Structure 1
Amino acid sequence: MKRSFLILILILIWIGLVFYFSSQPPDVSGRQSGSVYKFLKKIDSVLDFTRTNWYKNLRSLLEKWWFPDKKPTGEDLVRKSAHFGLYFIMGILSFTFSYTYLRKYVFSILLGVSLPTLIAVLDEYNQVFHNRGSSLYDVFIDMNGALFGVVIALLILVVGRLITRTYNVHRGER
């Protein structure tokens, strides 16, 4: 019970963080993403990751997936990656909370995807009140982030259970 309460508090903090970012005026939001983009360019100047095949393939995939109608800038990719990342973590937290509390896989998967998607819809609606555009496509990216987070959390849970079960069988326990 203590663990699920702690995870619930983390979810609420994370939702607050999401709404904090979506409540920023357009110029502040632009500066924030611009700063992250410049930071990533500095890291790239040292590590030179943008010339790797892995990066080129990932960028091509994300451009097709997230920007089917236009050629995005590096800053566009940073902004959409932030959407994906925020909701990836929210998906993990929501799934973990539900599973810790109820121990039901299907319900935990559904909550892990649906709660972040609901927050994403409300987040996009909130942006309208701060002179920022809202986009159903951003909700799609957010939902995909949550879905990926749930899949990763589920895989970790299942693999952990298999390892524990195998370890217990080898020790003679059942």
Structure 2
Amino acid sequence: MRKILLLLLASIWVVLVFYFSSQPPDVSGRQSRVVYMILKRLDGVLDFTQTEWYRNLRSFLEKWWFPEKKPSGEDLVRKSAHFGLYFIMGIFSFFLSYSYIRKYVFSVLMGISLPTLIAVLDEYNQSFHGRGSSLYDVIIDMNGAMFGMALAFLVRIVVELSVKNSKGGIV
């Protein structure tokens, strides 16, 4: 049952990714503007953009994701969405492959390669909807998948060690 649920969740997530990439440029722009405005209002209450942590994170992301230009806030929101979507896909891909094969090396490779393949196809799909494709976006997507897969891998190891430890096994 767990395998089917994971397969269903991963499939729904892939459909969601392709839904977003199939949006025309004006719809995609409106979606990111709405998220940006929500974050601006949230910042008005929490004032998080004035923290050193935020400034350091923004500077890091600007250098990493936009090596050739100074991005706007909406640009950062759009690239963060890429990273986040593929972060979750990396988690799903790792756990899905581990549930079937039970091999860490295979699951780590699937946690990175499957989302990266989908990212390439996603960028290609955008070209049919009046949007450009970008190698930078694929790299951001792949990085999101790697971080998601790494988190899933660590969670799996911790759970496995906890179960062994609770059963009296040697850690």
Under a length normalisation based on structure 2, what TM-score does the superposition of the two structures give?
Answer: 0.97
| C-alpha distance in structure 2 between counterparts of 1:51 and 1:126, whole Å | 38
| C-alpha distance in structure 2 between counterparts of 1:80 and 1:166, whole Å | 41
- 1:166 is displaced (CA, Å) by 1.7
Could you list the per-position Cα deviations for residues 134-160 of structure 1 after superposition, in whole angstroms to 9, with x for gaps in the alignment? Answer: 001100000000000000000111111
- 1:106 is displaced (CA, Å) by 0.3
- 1:60 is displaced (CA, Å) by 0.7
| C-alpha distance in structure 1 between counterparts of 2:170 and 2:22, whole Å | 53
Establish whether residue 168 from structure 1 lines up as the match of residue 154 from structure 2.
no
Match of 2:148?
149
The AA in structure 2 aligned to 1:26 is: P
- 1:84 is displaced (CA, Å) by 0.2
Q: Percent identity?
A: 70
Establish whether residue 3 from structure 1 lines up as the match of residue 2 from structure 2.
yes
- 1:101 is displaced (CA, Å) by 1.3
Number of paired residues? 171
| C-alpha distance in structure 2 between counterparts of 1:5 and 1:143, whole Å | 25
Establish whether residue 53 from structure 1 lines up as the match of residue 46 from structure 2.
no
Q: Which runs of structure 2 are paired with 1:111-126 in the superposition (5 Å)?
A: 111-126=110-125
| C-alpha distance in structure 1 between counterparts of 2:51 and 2:165, whole Å | 39
> Any idea what SS the aligned residue of 1:129 has?
helix
- 1:86 is displaced (CA, Å) by 0.2
Match of 1:133?
132
The AA in structure 2 aligned to 1:127 is: Q
| C-alpha distance in structure 2 between counterparts of 1:143 and 1:173, whole Å | 36
The AA in structure 1 aligned to 2:91 is: I
Q: Which runs of structure 2 are paired with 1:95-110 in the superposition (5 Å)?
A: 95-110=94-109
The AA in structure 1 aligned to 2:5 is: L
Moved over 3 A (4+): none
| C-alpha distance in structure 2 between counterparts of 1:165 and 1:98, whole Å | 22
- 1:79 is displaced (CA, Å) by 0.1
- 1:13 is displaced (CA, Å) by 0.6
The AA in structure 2 aligned to 1:25 is: P
Match of 1:18?
17
| C-alpha distance in structure 2 between counterparts of 1:173 and 1:14, whole Å | 38
Could you list the per-position Cα deviations for residues 76-110 of structure 1 after superposition, in whole angstroms to 9, with x for gaps in the alignment? Answer: 00000000000000000000001111110000001
- 1:173 is displaced (CA, Å) by 9.4
The AA in structure 1 aligned to 2:63 is: K
- Consecutive unaligned residues in structure 1, runs of 5 or more: none
Match of 1:70?
69
